[in-house]
Amino acid sequence: MKKDLPDNNVEDIAIAVALEKESVESKIWYVYVINLKDVQIENVLITSKGYGEKNGEHVKTSVLRHMIPTIEPGAFALIEPIDEATFGLNNEYWLSYYIGKEIFDKKFIFLPESIVESNFIRLPVLNKPGVMIR
């Protein structure tokens, strides 16, 4: 049962949307998971989906699932490319991982129009411009 699960808080893990390349015609964006911990995380599972309203209609994207065997301390891993057309939606990333035999999980949600230049920072570890949720 849910009450039997440990209450493990996710700390020092981030999901980031980074601007990879920019040209006159287009921008290329990628989503990363960043391990800011000083320990390795293992069996990293991530589901991603987009949902919300566009032009007055309810819109949902496909649910994608990703598995990353390990992410070393102070390292990052690519989750997926992301299309600018979804920036007007809620972009949700549900992350689960293990440290030893303990499981951790957290939902990260980029709200509509939050992935904009005025919210950019220099992403740690990646050293690229983008938006990050910790």
Give me the CATH topology for the region 2-133: Immunoglobulin-like (2.60.40)
Residue 77: which pLDDT band, with cuts at 50, 70 and 90?
very high
As a whole number, mean pLDDT of residues 48-58 equals 93
Residue 6 confidence (pLDDT) = 66
- Measure Cα distances from 114 to 5, 16, 19 in Å: 32, 12, 14
Report the pLDDT averaged over residues 104-127.
95
Residue 125's region, left for phi above 0, alpha for psi from -120 to 50, else beta, is: left
pLDDT value, residue 4 = 67
Q: Helices then strands (H, E): number in the chain?
A: 0, 10
Amino acid 37: pLDDT: 97
Rounded to two decimals, what is the model's pTM? Answer: 0.92
The one-letter code for the residue type at 75 is A
The residue-averaged pLDDT of 88-103 equals: 96
Domain boundaries, the chain: 2-133
Higher pLDDT, 63 or 113: 63
23/47: higher pLDDT:
47
Q: Mean pLDDT across the chain, nearest whole number?
A: 94
Q: What's the pLDDT at 5?
A: 64
